[in-house]
A and B are shown apart, each in its own frame.
Chain A
């Protein structure tokens, strides 16, 4: 088990090295180079030269790369060009918001997707099934930002049920020791603040959940359809087991194997989707910060963001593989 984890973590090294080369090359490939990109199109050659020497851009490429790598290893991605603060500090401050949002979206996707997929499979060929299939097709096709604006318009602007933007009511006074607003309310005994945070979470989480929800519905449905035709389910029927036992122990336990993998992979999609959702809802997470960074050509932030997301992605995949081993004894590492 431990060896497996270590091996997977070691696998991170080549992935991150490759990624660092790509990121390094990308910034150098910007028209006019990074200095020009920083200063804008009308910068004087003198200013560009000054910045280049200040940032070490006049050194040989390999030296620049090693320097970049050396800093990246120490999580030093330089200062954000938007705020002047170290990129890593900005990200650490904003990550709780994004994680909170992603978890809320995942919760919706799993809590709705698995039962719906199961129901569609058991009512195969009926209107419930057709509805689930069509709905999930819509879910993967509809662009997140479009759905986000739609939700915002319907539930915030027209109906006024939920707040339009932000993570919390700006007039509210609340302390944020952890940065996870819902948790903060509970920790500080301010349940009103938690409720406020949840209300702010609902719409962005719904928008963000659309793709994972659709994918989970489809995979669960397909997987359950497969499993109910397996010989061991017939064996369970032949044993006269109660329908509930058959469903839980013999159908769902097997059908959940592919679903688990998909849930893990969808976490990556959630992080990418957060960029769009957070922007539409002015939700102050890393996604919004990243979107702003792209507009502002804040390349240290973009580099840092991409590297951190890559690490998160690989670690999530590792966790998925480990859970897979827990669920399926056949792949358990001995």
Chain B
């Protein structure tokens, strides 16, 4: 049994007088202990909502959550907020996108770190302070004693994200959810933060969900990847497999959109996926990616596309597409060989 099992998760936002919006639709995936799983997608694909649903952090009003989330055998979707509060911060912890706004500006770094320790780890204030110092040292913050007494605005963006990470790992969670932890940071700092996360996961053996729109982050960090589009997972595979054999046209488009430094053809400087995520089709009617897809055929609009299994039972590689890339006469020479 995996550490985290998400089965058929769906999240629907309802507002009176408006059509309900299904932000996440039938999402299933597993995270094993010590494993890093990437969830990739663009803005509005439902990846952040998925993570908030796992944390039980979606507002109760106007939101319907379906499916199950099981952490270490405990069903989270059935729990009330009281029970969830005991689990959040202790068993599951989260790192958010923007460290500029995710820390309380009027409370010292130390207190924000200590409060989670005294809440969950049963430490006294003094013990928690000593532990907080160790944690800051562990996430690579120099002069931790001074930093504990300072406020978030006295730290750089990278340092703040390190504080956020220290808070997240404080109670040695079983599962760490990182929601675009490097998006708001400089490129050089991004690499440092990713390095730190990789080290921490390897050391602690916790599971990690890395939510990102950046396939580069996934390549360096994750074991498995799920690509989301318009609220559904459209392709899942081991990271190496996915990069070697992108099968959903969307994944393929994403990979081709990464500029390559060794690409000499001036006519093909930057590949893009035409249209925007708003040009979509309800999954009930057909493939949501159809309006932007170069490979689309008429059948793509006849009901929800079936999942094709391109892998093996041991190394699965399911794709939600009728005409996966490389499975027929491909538009891409490189894939024809397969």
Q: Which residue of A lies closest to B85 (CB)?
A: A240
Q: A231-B98, A234-B57, A235-B96 are in contact. Are A240 and B87 (CB under 8 A)?
A: yes
Q: Which residue of A lies closest to B164 (CB)?
A: A235
Interface readout for B96-108 with A: 1 if CB under 8 Å, 0 if not? 1010011111110
Considering the chains assembled together, what is the distance between the CA atoms of A230 and B115 in angstroms?
19
A242 interface residue (CB < 8 Å to B): yes
Considering the chains assembled together, what is the distance between the CA atoms of A158 and B107 in angstroms?
52
Q: A235-B103, A253-B107 are in contact. Are A240 and B89 (CB under 8 A)?
A: yes
B128 interface residue (CB < 8 Å to A): no
**What's the least CB distance linking B111 to chain A, in Å?**
8
Interface residues on A, range: 20 to 34
**What's the least CB distance linking A56 to chain B, in Å?**
56
**What's the least CB distance linking B76 to chain A, in Å?**
13
B317 interface residue (CB < 8 Å to A): no
Chain A residues with CB under 8 Å of B101's CB are: 230-232
Q: Which of B84, B119, B153 contacts A241 (CB 8 A)?
A: B119
**What's the least CB distance linking B227 to chain A, in Å?**
25
**What's the least CB distance linking A323 to chain B, in Å?**
13
Contact B115 A231 (CB under 8 A): no
Name, among B55, B86, B88, B102, the residue most crowded by chain A CB atoms within 10 Å (CB to CB). Answer: B102
A329 interface residue (CB < 8 Å to B): yes
A134 interface residue (CB < 8 Å to B): no
Q: Which of A237, A238, A249, A327 contacts B115 (CB 8 A)?
A: A249
Q: Which of A232, A234, A238 contacts B93 (CB 8 A)?
A: A238
Chain A residues with CB under 8 Å of B104's CB are: 232, 235-236, 249-250, 253-254
Q: Which residue of B lies closest to A238 (CB)?
A: B94
A245 interface residue (CB < 8 Å to B): yes
Q: A237-B88, A239-B116, A240-B86 are in contact. Are A231 and B96 (CB under 8 A)?
A: yes
Name, among A236, A237, A245, A257, the residue most crowded by chain B CB atoms within 10 Å (CB to CB). Answer: A237
Contact B103 A232 (CB under 8 A): yes
Considering the chains assembled together, what is the distance between the CA atoms of A327 and B107 in angstroms?
10
**What's the least CB distance linking B113 to chain A, in Å?**
10
**What's the least CB distance linking A103 to chain B, in Å?**
27
Contact A232 B102 (CB under 8 A): yes
Q: Interface residues, chain A, CB within 8 Å of chain B?
A: 230-232, 234-242, 245, 249-250, 253-254, 257, 327-330
